C-alpha cells in the first residue's frame, strides 16, 4: 500500500518498486513464511523483550536481509529503560553459587541473572566490562570471572 | 533397461563425452526455446557438433524456431519407445551441417517420458556430440525433472521481471549444487534500465548470483528471426546474433571477458532503422 502511494506521488522509478517487491517475495519464499507470520514474530519478540526492558514499540523494526547464502533476521528494538522487575529477581541467583546450574540455565535467564552476583563484588565495574564478562563464563563454566 | 537406443549408431571414432546442458527458467515465455536455438546454432557455427533436444513434450516449439518443422519425421518419444532410431529421428540443419535437432512429441504428455530412458538417450547423444542442449519445459514438474536429470550443466534464462527472477531463483534451488549453473538475462531494454523503468542485470543477478554468460537485448531482430525460422545467431550483421556468438564462445571457453550489456541505439540508428 505504501509502495503504491509512493509510486503515485513520488518520482520513484518503477524499477525501485520492482526491486523491493522482489526482495520481499523472495524473503517469504526463502523463509517459507507468509508476511503475517513475520509480523506476529515481531510482536512475539517485542513481548519477550518487554519483560525485561521498556521497549519503544512504535519504532520497532524486524526485517530479514539476504546475505551470501542465507537470510538474516535483523531486529532493531529501541530500549527506553530497564524494568524495575529485575530487582525482585536478584535474590534468586545468589543462593545458587554452583556454576553448573548457572551455565545450564537458558540464555535469556542467564543474561539477567548473571550481572547481579558479579556487581556486588566488583562494585566499581562499569556496564561494558560486565557485559564482556558475562559471555566468558558461558564458555568457561567456572565461577572465576566473578572474582575480577 | 530396455534396448531403446540401437547400439553402433555412431561410426565416428570414440572421443571425449560431450556436455549436456539444460536450458531452463521456471517461468514460461522468457525465451528458453529461442535461447536454445541460438546458442546451439552459434556453437555449431563455430564448428562443434551440436544436438538440440526438445524436452517440452506436448508443446513442441524448438523445431518452429529453428525453421525445421517441415522435416520432423520422428520425435523423442519414438526413440525412447524404440519406434525409431536416433539417426532416423535427428533432423539436420542445412545451414549448419553440424547442428541436429531431436524434436519433442506434440501429441503426447510430459508424463509419458520414461526418466531413465531419457537419461540413457542423453548419454548416447553425449557420446556422439560435443554439446547436447536440452530445451526444458516451463514449470517445475515432471517435464522439468526429466529435462534436468541427465544434464550436468544448466543455463538459466531470466528476464528483468519480478516474476521471472522469482521463478529463476526457485529453479536454481532445484538444480542443486551438483551442476554448473550459468545465467543469460534475456529481453533487456537498455533505455528503460537507464531510466529506472526496468530491473537491471545487476538487480537480477544480485538475487541469482550466477556466472553471467550474456545479456540479450529485447530487439526486433529476435522476433523477425523467429518469424522466419532462421536463428539470429547465424545472422552475421545482427548485434543480437553477435551476442549469442559471444555466449557460445564463453560456453566453449574460448572467451572469458565480462559480457557486454546491450547498448542503446543512437539517434541516427533510430532514424535509419539501424539494428
Residues A141 and A114: beta-carbon distance below 8 Å:
no
A75 shares a domain with A134: yes
φ, ψ (nearest 5 deg) of residue B54? -85, 110
Least CB-CB distance to B169: which of A16, A19, A26?
A26
Report the helix count and the strand count for chain B, using DSSP H and E: 12, 8
Q: Cβ contact (<8 Å) for A19 and B203?
A: yes
- pLDDT, one tens digit per residue, over B129-184 is 999 999 999 999 999 999 999 999 999 999 999 999 999 999 999 999 999 999 99
Enumerate the β-bridge partners of residue A62. Answer: A75
* Rounded Cα–Cα distance for residues A113 and A97 (Å): 12
Stretch B7-31: mean pLDDT: 79
DSSP B69: G
Looking at the complex, does the CB of residue B181 fall below 8 Å from at least one CB of chain A?
no
Angle at B158 between CA B157 and CA B162, to 5 degrees: 160
- Please provide the CATH number assigned to the domain covering B19-273: 3.40.50.300
pLDDT at A85 over 70: no
Cell 538444480, residue located: B175
How many Cβ atoms are within 10 Å of A70's Cβ, its own excluded? Answer: 9
In Å, how far is A17's CA from the nearest CA of chain B?
Answer: 9
pLDDT at A101 over 60: no
* Rounded Cα–Cα distance for residues B23 and B33 (Å): 8
Residues B270 and B215: beta-carbon distance below 8 Å:
no
What count of Cα atoms within 13 Å lies in the side-chain half-sphere of residue B255?
18
* Rounded Cα–Cα distance for residues B161 and B188 (Å): 10
In Å, how far is A52's CA from the nearest CA of chain B?
Answer: 38
Confidence of residue A34 (pLDDT cuts 50, 70, 90): low
For residue B275, give the nearest of B265, B262, B260, B263 by alpha carbon: B265
- pLDDT, one tens digit per residue, over B248-259 is 999 999 999 999
Q: Cβ contact (<8 Å) for A18 and B203?
A: yes
Residue B231's contacts (CB-CB under 8 Å, 6 or more residues apart) are B37, B38, B40, B41, B42, B65, B66, B225, B244
Q: CA-nearest residue of chain B to A65?
A: B207
Mutate to test the interface with A, among B191, B192, B199 (most CBs of A within 10 A): B199
A63 shares a domain with A116: yes
pLDDT at A96 over 60: no
pLDDT at A106 over 50: no
What DSSP line would sit under B232-272, residue for residue?
GGG-TT-HHHHHHHHHHHHHHTS--SPPPPPPPPPHHHHHT
Residue A114's contacts (CB-CB under 8 Å, 6 or more residues apart) are A93, A102, A134, A137
* Rounded Cα–Cα distance for residues A9 and A28 (Å): 28
* Rounded Cα–Cα distance for residues B116 and B153 (Å): 18
Mutate to test the interface with A, among B162, B163, B209, B210 (most CBs of A within 10 A): B162
Residue A83's contacts (CB-CB under 8 Å, 6 or more residues apart) are A50, A51, A52, A53, A54
Rg of the Cα atoms in chain A: 21
A41 shares a domain with A3: no
ipTM, 2 dp: 0.78
* Rounded Cα–Cα distance for residues B111 and B209 (Å): 32
Stretch B42-58: mean pLDDT: 97
Helices (H), chain A: 2-9, 14-31, 35-50, 86-89, 99-104, 107-113, 115-121, 127-140
A53 shares a domain with A29: no
A61 shares a domain with A4: no
In Å, how far is B163's CA from the nearest CA of chain A?
Answer: 8
| Percent share of chain A, pLDDT over 90 | 16
Number of domains in chain A: 2
* Rounded Cα–Cα distance for residues B197 and A14 (Å): 5
> Which triple of cell numbers denotes residue A136?
566468558
DSSP B64: H
Stretch B224-242: mean pLDDT: 95
For residue B151, give the nearest of B127, B172, B173, B180 by alpha carbon: B180
In Å, how far is B81's CA from the nearest CA of chain A?
Answer: 39
A109 shares a domain with A77: yes
A43 shares a domain with A9: no
Q: Cβ contact (<8 Å) for A25 and B200?
A: no
Mean predicted lDDT score pLDDT of chain B:
92
A118 shares a domain with A146: yes
Identify the domain containing residue A104 by its residue range: 34-148
Residue B56's contacts (CB-CB under 8 Å, 6 or more residues apart) are B33, B62, B104, B135, B136, B137, B138, B143
Q: Cβ contact (<8 Å) for B161 and A19?
A: no
Stretch A25-31: mean pLDDT: 77
In Å, how far is A13's CA from the nearest CA of chain B?
Answer: 5
Mutate to test the interface with B, among A22, A25, A27, A68 (most CBs of B within 10 A): A22
Amino acid at each position: 500500500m505504501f509502495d503504491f502511494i509512493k509510486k503515485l506521488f513520488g518520482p520513484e522509478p518503477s524499477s525501485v518498486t520492482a526491486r523491493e517487491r522482489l526482495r520481499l517475495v523472495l524473503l517469504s519464499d526463502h523463509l517459507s513464511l507468509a508476511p503475517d507470520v513475520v509480523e506476529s514474530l515481531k510482536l512475539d519478540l517485542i513481548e519477550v523483550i518487554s519483560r525485561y526492558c521498556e521497549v519503544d514499540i512504535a519504532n520497532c523494526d524486524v526485517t530479514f536481509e539476504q546475505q551470501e547464502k542465507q537470510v538474516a533476521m535483523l531486529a532493531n528494538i529501541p530500549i527506553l529503560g530497564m524494568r524495575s522487575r529485575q530487582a525482585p529477581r536478584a535474590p534468586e541467583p545468589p543462593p545458587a553459587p554452583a556454576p553448573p546450574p548457572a551455565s545450564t540455565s537458558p540464555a535469556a535467564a542467564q543474561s539477567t541473572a548473571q550481572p547481579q552476583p558479579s556487581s556486588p563484588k566488583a562494585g566499581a565495574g562499569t556496564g561494558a566490562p560486565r557485559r564482556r564478562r558475562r559471555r566468558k563464563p558461558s564458555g568457561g563454566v567456572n565461577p572465576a570471572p566473578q572474582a575480577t | 533397461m530396455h534396448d531403446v537406443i540401437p547400439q553402433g549408431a555412431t561410426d565416428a571414432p570414440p572421443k571425449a563425452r560431450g556436455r549436456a546442458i539444460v536450458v531452463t527458467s521456471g517461468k514460461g515465455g522468457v525465451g528458453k526455446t529461442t535461447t536454445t536455438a541460438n546458442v546451439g546454432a552459434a556453437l555449431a557455427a563455430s564448428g562443434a557438433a551440436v544436438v538440440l533436444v526438445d524436452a517440452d513434450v506436448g508443446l513442441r516449439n524448438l523445431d518452429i524456431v529453428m525453421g525445421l518443422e517441415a522435416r520432423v519425421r520422428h520425435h523423442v518419444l519414438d526413440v525412447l519407445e524404440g519406434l525409431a532410431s536416433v539417426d532416423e529421428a535427428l533432423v539436420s540443419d542445412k545451414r549448419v551441417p553440424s547442428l541436429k535437432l531431436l524434436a519433442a512429441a506434440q501429441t503426447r504428455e510430459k508424463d509419458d517420458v520414461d526418466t531413465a530412458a531419457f537419461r540413457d538417450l542423453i548419454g548416447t547423444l553425449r557420446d556422439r556430440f560435443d554439446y547436447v542442449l536440452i530445451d526444458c519445459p516451463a514449470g517445475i514438474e515432471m517435464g522439468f525433472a526429466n529435462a534436468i536429470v541427465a544434464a550436468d550443466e544448466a543455463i538459466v534464462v531470466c528476464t528483468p521481471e519480478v516474476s521471472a527472477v522469482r521463478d529463476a531463483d526457485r529453479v536454481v534451488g532445484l538444480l542443486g549444487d551438483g551442476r554448473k549453473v550459468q545465467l543469460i538475462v534475456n529481453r533487456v531494454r537498455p533505455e528503460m534500465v537507464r531510466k529506472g523503468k526496468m530491473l537491471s542485470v545487476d538487480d537480477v543477478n544480485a538475487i541469482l548470483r550466477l556466472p553471467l554468460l550474456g545479456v540479450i537485448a529485447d530487439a526486433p531482430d529476435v522476433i523477425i528471426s523467429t518469424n522466419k525460422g532462421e536463428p539470429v545467431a547465424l545472422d552475421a550483421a545482427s548485434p543480437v546474433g553477435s551476442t549469442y556468438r559471444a555466449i557460445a564462445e564463453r560456453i566453449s571457453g574460448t572467451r572469458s571477458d565480462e559480457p557486454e550489456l546491450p547498448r542503446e541505439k543512437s539517434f541516427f540508428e533510430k532514424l535509419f532503422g539501424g539494428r
